[in-house]
Amino acid sequence: MPDRDRSPAVVRLGVNVDHVATIRQARQASYPDPVAAAAIAEMAGADQITVHIRLDRRHIQERDLEVLVRTVQTRLNVEMAVQEEMLLLAERIHPHTITLVPERPEEVTTEGGLDLLAEGAAHAVRAAVTRLLAGGMQVSLFIDPDVAQVRAAGDAGVHMIELNTAAYAEASDDADRARELERIDAACAVADSLDMYIAAGHGLHYHNVCALADLDWIAEFNIGHAIIARAVFSGLEQAVRDMVDLLR
């Protein structure tokens, strides 16, 4: 597991390159290549490359994972659903980290965290965690910033979580945003008491990430859409450097 030092100087940035693959798949072309994007992101200061391989393969493909696991120089974090097909893929590809996430076929993007309080889901997640850990991979769970969910993640056997920041990112006003920050802070405090490595992501961009970084709990931010969107105008290397500068 990465070092848990919470000093702002060591906050890590995971760059999600899914949206590069989205552009490629829109034309069923061979470019732009998310593998090339990952290399540029690493050269610009990214500490991790994050991808989400979905059951419908709408963006990242198995070929991407096969090449990324051989070429990423930092860490490769693969997000995937708790499904047998995905678990077999994880065991074959064997990235540094697997982040288990909920997934619905009709969603545009991930809509919430895993519900570890639902009996059936909790059992499936625990079984997946045990299996992946036995395979030598680090396992993180993408959950909402809820104290009960954090405790349930601990019960599932993980020492890493990624907090879903969508509600914070989508808050309609300062009061709502402050309430969501309080929820995140409380969830982080419990995770820290359980000696968990804390990551965060979803909906984060250049204008809202600093308030989360200032909480001093979160060791890693996984950000994709905002970075790729800025890269359209500034180039990917500069877009990554801009985010690294904000976090450090």
Instruction: Give the CATH number for residue 108.
Output: 3.20.20.70
Q: Is 79 a catalytic residue?
A: yes
d(CA 97, CA 129): 11
Evaluate whether residue 185 is within a structural domain. Answer: yes
239 lies in a domain? yes
Which of 70-79, 110-119, 225-234 is least confident? 110-119
- The candidate with the shortest Cα–Cα distance to 141, out of 101, 87, 187, is 101
Q: Is residue 229 part of a domain?
A: yes
Residue 63 pLDDT exceeds 50: yes
User: In which band, very low, low, confident or very high, does the pLDDT at 46 lie, cut at 50, 70 and 90?
Assistant: very high
Cite the beta strand spans of the chain per DSSP E: 12-16, 48-52, 76-80, 97-100, 138-143, 160-164, 197-201, 220-223
| Number of domains, the chain | 1
For residue 160, tell me if it sits in a domain. Answer: yes
pLDDT of residue 108: 61
Name the amino acid, one letter, at 211.
A
Q: Is 71 helix (H, G, I), strand (E, B) or coil?
A: helix
- The pLDDT tens digits for 102-116 are 987 766 666 689 999
Of residues 19, 52, 59, 162, which has the active-site annotation?
52
Dist CA 50 CA 142 (whole Å) = 13
Task: Grade residue 248 by pLDDT with cuts at 50, 70 and 90.
Answer: confident
Q: Please indicate, yes or no, if residue 201 is contained in any of the structural domains.
A: yes
238 phi and psi angles, rounded to 5 deg: -65, -40
* Rounded average pLDDT over 214-239: 98
Q: Return mean pLDDT, the chain.
A: 94
What is the mean pLDDT of the segment spanning 87-113? 87
Percent of the chain with pLDDT strictly greater than 90: 90
Identify whether 34 is part of a domain.
Answer: no
Tell me if 125 is assigned to some domain.
Answer: yes
DSSP 115: -
The answer to whether 225 is a known catalytic residue is: no
Domain membership of residue 57 (yes or no) is no
Containing structural domain, residue 190:
74-243
- From 42, 79, 180, 220, the catalytic residue: 79
Which H helix or E strand runs over 150? helix 147-155
Among 14-18, 63-67, 119-123, 230-234, the least confident range? 119-123
| Catalytic site residue from 59, 103, 162, 202 | 202
What does the pLDDT read at residue 168? 98
Interval 123-166: pLDDT, tens: 999 999 999 999 999 999 999 999 999 999 999 999 999 999 99
Residue 157: phi and psi, rounded to 5, are 100, 10
Give this prediction's pTM: 0.94
Integer CA distances (angstroms), 136 to 32, 94, 219, in order: 32, 8, 22
Q: What value does the CA radius of gyration of the chain take, rounded to a whole number of Å?
A: 17
CA gap 7, 98 in Å, rounded = 24
Instruction: Please name the helix (run of DSSP H) or strand (run of DSSP E) that holds residue 178, with its range, or none.
Output: helix 174-193
Q: Which amino acid is at 107?
A: E
Report pLDDT for 104: 78
Annotated active-site residue 202? The verdict is yes
